[in-house]
Amino acid sequence: MPMRSTGRQLNSRGLSPGARSVDSNRTRLKLPLKLLYAVCMGSRGGDAELVQILDAALADAARRSGAWLACRPGCTQCCIGVFAVNQLDADRLRNGLAELALQEPARAAAIRERATASIARLAPEFPGDAATGILAEGEEAEAQFEDFANDEPCPALDPATGLCDLYSARPTTCRVFGPPARSGEEGGLGVCELCFHGASEQQIAACEMEVDPDGLEDKLLAELEERTQRRGRTIVAYCLTEQRG
């Protein structure tokens, strides 16, 4: 899962702008597989299993990280700056928004309004197809995305509360941000710049979150793309202006 140590990549698990890298050896961790909280109604079948695995991995890493992990409700470090999501993330977000619309239509409408406003700001320089929201591929497009919209807030972020309005349906990137996690072809270990202050590289490595060790996400993504014929990476704002389909 390609990423850069201090920013975002064209990938569902790239680090957000406030991340730093750590050089260390990989430590394989055994993860509990219990469901930690109910996922949104739209997360079905295999995706619900993936969410369960990711959330269990996060809880395990958080337990080992203790006070070094600074993530708290209201911290929006990882909510500023656009990042790429895959079609599995996009489907989960659309389902989560549809569920919210049934329960709290005003909140859902506010999310859509923020997403629409975000697209209006981003479309003129969007590094891809601004009509569909699909990001372009290739080295040049990747380099362009690196410098794109780094100060843009996520439309799922409630500016009044500092909380995510689609927390249970959030993308993989959001689910793994904070604890040390590996990404990229070289398997670099990244961690939020607000976390692990004063910790050694060995202490950070001991808290590593192993993300989807069996590659379930890749399998589910391939199945979804084959079934829906939706392919390519996009950003959160475009997911939240589409109707579920």
As a whole number of angstroms, the distance between CA 159 and CA 153 comes to 9
Rounded Cα distance, 179 and 136, in Å: 29
Per-residue pLDDT of the chain (245 residues), as tens digits, is 333 232 333 333 344 445 554 543 333 333 333 333 333 433 456 899 999 999 999 999 999 999 999 888 888 988 999 999 999 999 999 999 999 999 999 999 999 999 999 999 999 999 999 999 999 999 999 999 999 999 999 999 999 999 999 999 999 999 988 899 987 677 788 888 899 999 999 999 999 998 898 999 999 999 999 999 999 999 999 999 965 54
235: region left, alpha or beta (phi > 0 left; psi from -120 to 50 alpha): beta
Q: Token match 């109910």: residue?
A: 38
- CA separation for the pair 219, 132 (Å, rounded): 24
- pTM for the structure as a whole: 0.80
pLDDT at 243: 58
